[in-house]
Chain A
């Protein structure tokens, strides 16, 4: 069923997005951020359009059309500007995770065939090493808008290119405005997870990306000021939050670091934000921790009971009763859209009781990423909402309870994996449906319920995905006495998933050093190995077993049997 609660415009591409927002919202503030000195900087929708045109013109003069451009850095106006200038200049953007190590970044820059890299300040020290290992890279451009300029760098930065672009435009250079944009050609390559054979480059088109912006606005009436806290390279944050904010005339405020979320909630006073379960859980836990610390927990519980009783007869005093709680979150926050991983329904209800509505959604990078979302008009507890318009969902081979693989068809579905026809073919059914690998069913009011996943993928509460095979390959290659290892997720009492490595060690090694020492060494080696990994991939628990894993007839470890025995 194609549900649209609010009428909204369907964009052709991201050039129309920038132009339309400048026309409609003009001098309204589009972005706010802090510069390195801590001063507030603001940029309007008109300035975004003008800066995108200037930077795009300069990039075209550098010969960027048709090239692949890697983009890695902190959330900032310059990042948004760079992304839109590259894509609208007819090049392909490759957003990379700034938390990756240099080795991991090198692998992805190479794999994506990037010719140029645009980097944020925090990556500046690593750029020479990345360039040294990526001979195809012909240039590296700093996105830093606030430091002295070229005098401190060997190469051009975004401020220099903006100046050059403005001069070219003033002299009548019309190349950027006349770039032919094919809405069905790949404009972005996003890497899913992994750094070895497991990682795949998802190719998205302007049609894919604009489909989810349209879908989100068909279900949600969004607020006027939002806080961006999630990593900007993620499709969830960029396609939905950043591009969605530009589309809707929302002022998007950049949180300068996850270290400062609370301060920035107070500084920017957002009405809404997009989050992952880990952050929502932390906010909720903190509310109760503060209440306990100040001996107000009983008072708060009574207030919730009274407020809920009044709501049942149509009186909503949550913003009044729980003003101190809401003030601790900036004073205006009333809407959180949550995705990336499952969120406990107790937290959704608990936040709602206090006056902050949390809407769970579901997506996957291959679907740009949005597939379904709860919204104010249709919020089904425990579900991930209804499919967005233009997207069809079917459940493949449902069991007696109606659960089967969730398969998707629609304008949001990627064109394929970059240079990986086999993986692309495996991801689609013969009749063209994308196989998400997630299990679920469609329930009441057409809402989607997720019940599990077919793939081995570990989905952490911060929304990051980890491919266990990648970590297993690393452990087997770097610890010579590990004979077999299975990396899997383990769920703790609070329902939070952690990464666990369980190994069967070489029997001779165990006999020589003794079983206690062998286990201690394995734990120490895993800890050492962790230091070579991005933080979210680090193994939380290392353990050994005294027998081999059960195998299939082709001698592959039966992962489901192994995990079932260990969790």
Chain B
């Protein structure tokens, strides 16, 4: 299942950008000028909406939204 549409919806609550500006390659910190605090809030929202858990120590490896998409998909499949 592609999680990007859900991720995009949540990200757009934090960043004032059109949907077309968000892709698998988007780096939320660099491309959308979000802060690491915003990113944590986005991940917290996704956790509660999707019922997955993202370990804080793994977040440093999630550079793009595609990375986040892959990470969540792997956990959704596992659970």
Closest chain-B Cβ to A125's Cβ sits at a distance in Å of 8
B40 contact from A98, A101, A259, Cβ within 8 A: A259
Closest chain-A Cβ to B79's Cβ sits at a distance in Å of 16
Please indicate the chain A residues that have their CB under 8 angstroms from the CB of B61 in the complex: 531
The 5 nearest A-B residue pairs measured at CB: A259-B44, A258-B40, A535-B60, A259-B40, A282-B37
| CB within 8 Å for A257 and B44 given contacts A278-B37, A536-B36 | yes
Contact A261 B56 (CB under 8 A): no
User: Does chain B have a CB within 8 A of A344?
Assistant: no
Interchain CA distance A384-B30 in the complex, whole Å: 30
Contact B33 A492 (CB under 8 A): yes
Please indicate the chain B residues that have their CB under 8 angstroms from the CB of A282 in the complex: 35, 37-38, 41
User: Does chain B have a CB within 8 A of A459?
Assistant: no
Kindly supply a per-residue 1/0 record for chain A positions 265-293, scoring 1 wherever the CB is within 8 Å of any chain B CB and 0 otherwise: 00000000000001101100000010000
Considering the complex, which residues of chain A in the window 235-278 have a beta carbon less than 8 Å from any beta carbon of chain B? 257-263, 278
Most chain B C-beta atoms within 10 Å of own C-beta, residue among A263, A531, A541: A531
B63 contact from A279, A461, A496, A531, Cβ within 8 A: A531
Considering the complex, which residues of chain B in the window 47-73 have a beta carbon less than 8 Å from any beta carbon of chain A? 47, 54-57, 59-61, 63
| CB within 8 Å for A279 and B37 given contacts A257-B44, A259-B44, A259-B47 | yes
User: Does chain B have a CB within 8 A of A164?
Assistant: no
Please indicate the chain A residues that have their CB under 8 angstroms from the CB of B63 in the complex: 527, 530-531
Kindly supply a per-residue 1/0 record for chain B positions 11-49, scoring 1 wherever the CB is within 8 Å of any chain A CB and 0 otherwise: 001000000000000000110010111101101100100
Contact A535 B47 (CB under 8 A): no
Contact A540 B29 (CB under 8 A): yes
Interface size class of A (residues with CB under 8 A): 20 to 34
Given contacts A531-B60, A538-B60, 17 further A-B contacts (CB under 8 A): A99-B57, A122-B55, A126-B57, A257-B40, A257-B44, A258-B40, A258-B41, A259-B40, A259-B41, A260-B44, A278-B36, A282-B41, A461-B35, A496-B35, A527-B63, A535-B36, A535-B60
Q: How many residues of B contact A (CB 8 A)?
A: 21
Interchain CA distance A278-B38 in the complex, whole Å: 9
A541 contact from B13, B30, B56, B60, Cβ within 8 A: B30
User: Does chain B have a CB within 8 A of A145?
Assistant: no
Residue of B nearest to A282 (CB): B37
Contact A99 B60 (CB under 8 A): yes
Residue of A nearest to B40 (CB): A258
Contact A462 B36 (CB under 8 A): yes
Kindly supply a per-residue 1/0 record for chain A positions 87-108, scoring 1 wherever the CB is within 8 Å of any chain B CB and 0 otherwise: 0000000000011010000000
Residues of A within 8 A of B (CB): 98-99, 101, 122-123, 126, 257-263, 278-279, 281-282, 289, 461-462, 492, 494, 496, 527, 530-531, 533-536, 538, 540-541
Residue of A nearest to B48 (CB): A263
Interchain CA distance A261-B63 in the complex, whole Å: 22
Closest chain-A Cβ to B10's Cβ sits at a distance in Å of 12
A-B contact pairs, 24 of them (CB 8 A): A98-B57, A99-B57, A99-B60, A122-B55, A122-B56, A122-B57, A259-B40, A259-B41, A259-B47, A259-B56, A262-B41, A263-B44, A281-B35, A282-B41, A462-B36, A492-B33, A494-B33, A496-B35, A527-B63, A531-B61, A534-B60, A538-B60, A540-B29, A540-B30
Residue of B nearest to A74 (CB): B56
Interchain CA distance A494-B33 in the complex, whole Å: 10
| CB within 8 Å for A535 and B38 given contacts A259-B43, A259-B44, A541-B30 | no
Interchain CA distance A118-B72 in the complex, whole Å: 30
Residues of B within 8 A of A (CB): 13, 29-30, 33, 35-38, 40-41, 43-44, 47, 54-57, 59-61, 63
Residue of B nearest to A493 (CB): B33
Interchain CA distance A257-B41 in the complex, whole Å: 10
Most chain B C-beta atoms within 10 Å of own C-beta, residue among A123, A258, A496: A258
Closest chain-B Cβ to A273's Cβ sits at a distance in Å of 14
Residue of B nearest to A276 (CB): B37
Interchain CA distance A533-B23 in the complex, whole Å: 24
Residue of B nearest to A290 (CB): B13
Please indicate the chain A residues that have their CB under 8 angstroms from the CB of B44 in the complex: 257-260, 263
| CB within 8 Å for A258 and B35 given contacts A122-B56, A535-B59, A538-B60 | no
Please indicate the chain B residues that have their CB under 8 angstroms from the CB of A534 in the complex: 60
Closest chain-A Cβ to B44's Cβ sits at a distance in Å of 3
Please indicate the chain B residues that have their CB under 8 angstroms from the CB of A278 in the complex: 35-37
Interchain CA distance A45-B55 in the complex, whole Å: 31
Please indicate the chain A residues that have their CB under 8 angstroms from the CB of B30 in the complex: 540-541
Closest chain-B Cβ to A129's Cβ sits at a distance in Å of 13
Please indicate the chain B residues that have their CB under 8 angstroms from the CB of A257 in the complex: 40, 44, 56
Please indicate the chain B residues that have their CB under 8 angstroms from the CB of A126 in the complex: 57
Interchain CA distance A262-B38 in the complex, whole Å: 12
Interchain CA distance A494-B41 in the complex, whole Å: 20
Residue of B nearest to A257 (CB): B56
Interchain CA distance A533-B57 in the complex, whole Å: 11
Please indicate the chain B residues that have their CB under 8 angstroms from the CB of A492 in the complex: 33
Please indicate the chain A residues that have their CB under 8 angstroms from the CB of B38 in the complex: 282
Closest chain-A Cβ to B56's Cβ sits at a distance in Å of 6
Contact B40 A462 (CB under 8 A): no
Please indicate the chain B residues that have their CB under 8 angstroms from the CB of A263 in the complex: 44
Interchain CA distance A126-B58 in the complex, whole Å: 12
Please indicate the chain B residues that have their CB under 8 angstroms from the CB of A494 in the complex: 33
Closest chain-A Cβ to B50's Cβ sits at a distance in Å of 13
Closest chain-B Cβ to A492's Cβ sits at a distance in Å of 7
Please indicate the chain A residues that have their CB under 8 angstroms from the CB of B40 in the complex: 257-259
